Each structure stands twice: as structure tokens, then as C-alpha cells.
Structure 1
Amino acid sequence: MSRIVLKAFLGLLMRVLFRPRVEGADHIPATGPVILAGNHVTFVDSMFLALSLKRQVYFIGKDEYVTGKGVKGRLMAWFFSTSGMIPVDRDGGHGGVAALMTGRRVLEEGKMFGIYPEGTRSPDGRLYRGRTGVSRLTLMTGAPVVPFAMVGTDKVQPGGKGRLHISPVTIRFGEPLDFTRYEGMDRDRYVLRAVTDEVMSEVMRLSGQEYVDIYATKAKAA
């Protein structure tokens, strides 16, 4: 019930203020496991995505989002838990493995899992090289990958933080990508890279972003 209340209230608020335009939602299968893979330009991307879809989408998020203290901490915990975020400690040495296994469990339960292959928010609005977690998940589970692009959320939340600005948003979905031809090859690094690059190519086409063939974390460090 809490998710229904959250989606009804915030969804109405979002439609009134930001007028989100959803394109290609019919590409998302109505049932069964699905991986949504897209660009990540600002903190509110997951909120817009979750509130724009009929199906529940699950994401991995930092556990600190649901462990805060006080009224603000409890409100954040309520929002993220009801909007489909699964908290995982990603700072430890096994954070990547835990996130991958969580995604696999969600998909094996026939649910929809959202992932940002760049691994972090873009530091400058460009699209960066994807990490192979998305390819591992699709090859391990057989779930199709539906690429998507968030367009305009960088204007809603410039710099990825601070107060929100009223600006239109477009969420664009591409056709499902089927990688079952690579079944059993989830440990082949060449296959993993090829699958990831194909996904990122579709995300680039949908978003119109300039592509940079390095990891976003490396760009941030520089």
C-alpha cells in the first residue's frame, strides 16, 4: 500500500511540475525478468524512472540512504524502500559481487531490475564506458536488456545535487536486446565487453550524448 500511495502522490506531483514524456514504454515486456539499462546524469534519475513505469523496477542503492537518523533519515528510508531501492554496502571489497548477486536474485524472481552500466553519475553530461555487470546479468539469467535514456534530468537537478528546477524530462526506451546466443559465456571477457558495448551504443543512440571510451570514475578522479 505504501508504494501505491507514494506513486500516486509523487507521480501526480511529477506530472504537474515536470511534464515527463515517456517514449517507447511498450518495448518493456509486461511480465517476466527484464533488465533496464540506461544513462545516469543526476540523482533523481531513478525517481523519475520508477514513477513513470507501471511495473515495479528495483535498483541497487547505497545502504546509507536507508540508515539515516532523525525525521529526514526516516523519510529518505521510506521513500527509497517503497520506490524499489535495495540497499547494498558497495564500499566494501565485495560490494560489486553483492550488487551483482542481488540483481541476479531479482531477475530470477521474474522481476524488473534497473542498472546504470556507467557505475556512477556522469561528471559532465557525457556518456561513459559501461562496466560489464549488465552483460553478466543478462548472460547469467537470460533476461532481455531494454536500453533507456534519461533526457533533461540534468536540468532538473544541475550538478546532481541541490534543489530541483522545473524543466521538462523525457524518458526514452529502446527495443529489447536479446543476448541468449551467448548463453554459458558469462566468464568470457571479450563477450562481456562486446555485450556491454552494444548496450551502451543503444543508450547513446537514445540519449544523443557524446560518448567517452573511459570509465566515469577515472574521469572524476582526473
Structure 2
Amino acid sequence: MAKVLWRTEVRHLDRLPRSGPVIVVANHVGIADGPLLHGVIPRGSHFLIGGHMMEGLLGRILRVAQQIKVEGGGRQALAQAYEVLKRGDVVGVFPEGTRGGGTAESVHGGAAWLALRTRAPVVPVAILGTRLPGESVSAWPELRRRMLMDFGEATSLDTPQELKGRARQDWADQRVGEILRDHLAAVLPTTDLELPRDDPRAERAANEAQEAE
């Protein structure tokens, strides 16, 4: 997919540890992000995938690839991801939780929760080109489009010892967001590819709310 269907440039893959548990976090702009990132990682990887993606042909492919289905509050998915990390493998998370502008301004806490409990390092990945401004978040990119996946440095969460409980989790949530945003900020000036920044789902929801009024 990365090299035949599309023209994907993969940078700094050597920054991904070749052994041991790793949590890969990436910004999320389009439907191709997950399959592409899973494909370029040179180790077996298990991504947390929304249950709605586990339907039909794509769902069968994801299940065969041993991806992790997220349902409800996601507790069962996190428990599965925890076991993957404990055995020394790779877990992938899109902490924004849904496809959108890809700026990672708001992230969920699953990746941070896993990092705190397994001490696995976090590797950020900047994804660019899988969706352009104005395109649907559910549309596959046209053939041979140029894309970029840039891997950042592996970073451990060195939590301040005085933080406990909810404060510790809140700090970790913020830190994971910072790691991903800082990497995106470093990558964007190195390419002419841009984030779509628009969020079609949020815009559609806002329009529906206005119409309901």
C-alpha cells in the first residue's frame, strides 16, 4: 500500500526500538492512516481501532491482523493492549480518537495510561498527505498520492514522583499530547505537505445543531 498504491516517504524509521514494548502515537487525518502505519512498522503492531471499523471486508482484514477492537469505554481494549506491551510488542494509538484536522490539540488518555503502567516508551509519528483539506475523512486517497510518515524519538514518561492518582494521569495525558504536537511542529517545516486542519465531522455536527435550532 505504502509504495505501490501510494508514494509514501517514511522517515527516521530507525528511531523505532527494534525490540521491547513500544507505544506508537500518531495524528489522525484520514482512513488510510492506520493501515499505512501498521504496514510500515517493521515489527508486529496492534492498533486500537474503533468498533465501527471492524465491519465488512476491512473488519475481517483488521481482525486477521490482530488489531484491537475498541468498544464502549475501551477498558477491554486497554487490557488487551496492556498484555501486548507486557509481552514486549508494539501498540499503536491515535490519541485524538477520531479522524480530523490532525493537529493533536486534544488527545484522549489511553496511550498515557498504558505508558504509565508498562513504562513503555512513546514514539510519535507525524502523518501527512493521507487527507487533503475538504476531503471526506472516510474517503481513500487517490492512487499514487504523495504521503509522509515521520517517526520521532522514543520518549519515556518520567512522571514527577510527587504526583499521584488522577493528577499523575492528567500529567501523563498532557505529556503525550506535547510529545506528538512537538514532533508535528518539527516535521511540518521540512515538507510542503500540510495538515488538512479542517474537521468535517465537527463542522457537520455544528451545522446540524444550527439547523435544529
**Smaller-chain TM-score bracket:** 0.7 to 0.9
1:218–1:163 Cα change, 3 Å = closer
| Superposition pairs of residues 93-104 of structure 1, within 5 angstroms | 95-104=73-82
Q: Secondary structure at the match of 2:91?
A: strand
Which 5+ residue runs of structure 2 have no aligned equivalent? Answer: 189-193, 207-213
Q: Secondary structure at the match of 2:131?
A: helix
CA displacement, residues 84-103 of structure 1 (integer Å, 9 cap, x when unaligned) = 422232xx3xx232232222
Residue of structure 2 equivalent to 1:85 = 67
Matched-pair contact (CA < 8 Å) for 2:31–2:139: no
Residue of structure 2 equivalent to 1:107 = 85
Which 5+ residue runs of structure 1 have no aligned equivalent? Answer: 1-10
Do structure 1's residue 196 and structure 2's residue 173 form an aligned pair?
A: no
Residue of structure 2 equivalent to 1:54 = 42
State, as a whole percentage, how many aligned pairs show the same letter. Answer: 28
Do structure 1's residue 140 and structure 2's residue 117 form an aligned pair?
A: yes
Q: TM-score scaled by structure 2?
A: 0.77
For 1:113 and 1:151, how far apart are their aligned partners in 2? 21
Deviation at 1:180, TM superposition (A): 3.9
CA displacement, residues 183-206 of structure 1 (integer Å, 9 cap, x when unaligned) = 784642442243233223334325
Residue of structure 1 equivalent to 2:147 = 169
1:84–1:152 Cα change, 3 Å = farther
Flag the structure with higher helix content: 1
CA displacement, residues 28-55 of structure 1 (integer Å, 9 cap, x when unaligned) = 0111100000100011101111111211
Between 143-152 and 197-206, report the one with greater CA deviation: 197-206
CA displacement, residues 78-133 of structure 1 (integer Å, 9 cap, x when unaligned) = 311233422232xx3xx2322322221211121100001111111x4543311222
CA displacement, residues 127-182 of structure 1 (integer Å, 9 cap, x when unaligned) = 33112222111111000000001111114993122353121111100001111445
1:117–1:64 Cα change, 3 Å = closer
Matched-pair contact (CA < 8 Å) for 1:37–1:147: yes
For 2:125 and 2:46, how far apart are their aligned partners in 1? 15
